[in-house]
């Protein structure tokens, strides 16, 4: 957990599997428009890839991928992207979360709603992924400096 | 006492399966859930979403459209709940350096 695992099998297998879990998470996130998937599921898969490395490589070496210092900030930024999309549509004359009023020039109303959905899914995936990593780090007792 | 529990479970299972037998088959166009007008004569909201999801957003997955467009304020609440949980763990558990 905090220290690196003693077993080379666990370390090598998790180092090999974690990028594929994260790649599948990105696929699930972008596939949300066309099939099962979306921000919450993709965010959980991305967090699972990072947490697998956190558990096998140890807390300190895996800081290189996602640092414990920036997780809370990215989580807040994701929630802010979601709410900010709604506020931008409110400022440009529409209702709250009515993506038809997003200020992207040269797009039809349907395409504007398509990209509005993509924007808020991006906010969800950032908030959920870094949120789960932050909860894990807090439970493990890693402080801001990154060491235990 | 244990026999009484099993008998109670059996009775409940009979009720459940009896209810399932009365449900319409999957994809039945005549079932009340598939109608565009309710028995009271008012339009049904679900039919409106199914008919308008693709023309409104160019997105084939209507679940995603309902989740992120028609019901986006609900999803905003879910993200706020996740963020509130993260902040709770942050304030209670995180060690100061």
Mutate to test the interface with B, among A73, A75, A125, A126 (most CBs of B within 10 A): A75
The interface pTM score, or ipTM, of the predicted complex is: 0.87
Burial readout A20-56 (b: 16 or more C-beta within 10 A, e: otherwise)? ebbebbeebbbbbbeeebbbbbbbbbbbbbbbbbbbb
pLDDT tens figures, A107-132: 888 999 999 999 999 999 999 999 99
Going from the C-alpha of B96 to that of each of A12, A112, A147, B84, the distances in angstroms are 33, 44, 12, 20
Is the Cβ–Cβ distance between A140 and A59 less than 8 Å?
yes
pTM: 0.83
pLDDT tens figures, A36-57: 888 899 999 999 999 999 899 8
Is the Cβ–Cβ distance between A127 and B79 less than 8 Å?
yes
Taking residues A13-37, what's their average pLDDT? 93
Mutate to test the interface with A, among B60, B82, B88 (most CBs of A within 10 A): B82
For A97-132, the three-class secondary structure string (H helix, E strand, C coil) is CCHHHCCCCCCCHHHHHHHHHHHHHHHHHHHHHHHH
From chain A, the residues in CB contact with B89 under 8 A are: 134-135, 138-139
From chain B, the residues in CB contact with A141 under 8 A are: 93, 95
């Amino acid at each position: 957990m905090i220290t690196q695992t003693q077993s080379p099998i666990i370390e090598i297998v998790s180092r090999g599997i974690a990028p594929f879990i994260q790649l599948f998470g990105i696929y699930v996130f972008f596939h949300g428009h066309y099939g099962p998937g979306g921000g919450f599921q993709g965010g959980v898969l991305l967090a699972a890839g990072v947490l697998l490395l956190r558990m096998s490589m140890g807390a300190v070496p895996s800081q290189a991928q996602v640092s414990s210092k920036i997780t809370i900030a990215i989580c807040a930024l994701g929630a802010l992207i979601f709410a900010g999309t709604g506020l931008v549509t409110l400022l440009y004359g529409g209702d709250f979360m009515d993506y038809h009023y997003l200020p992207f020039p040269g797009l039809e109303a349907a395409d504007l709603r398509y990209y509005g959905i993509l924007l808020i899914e991006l906010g969800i995936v950032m908030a959920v992924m870094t949120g789960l990593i932050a909860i894990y780090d807090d439970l493990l007792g890693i402080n801001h400096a990154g060491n235990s | 006492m244990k026999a009484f529990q099993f008998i109670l479970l059996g009775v409940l299972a009979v009720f459940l399966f009896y209810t399932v037998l009365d449900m319409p088959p999957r994809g039945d166009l005549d079932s009340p859930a598939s109608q565009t007008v309710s028995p009271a004569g008012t339009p049904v909201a679900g039919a409106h979403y199914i008919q308008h999801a693709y023309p409104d957003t160019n997105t084939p997955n209507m679940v995603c459209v309902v989740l992120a467009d028609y019901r986006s304020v609900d999803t905003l609440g879910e993200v706020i709940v996740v963020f509130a949980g993260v902040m709770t763990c942050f304030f209670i558990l995180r060690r100061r350096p």
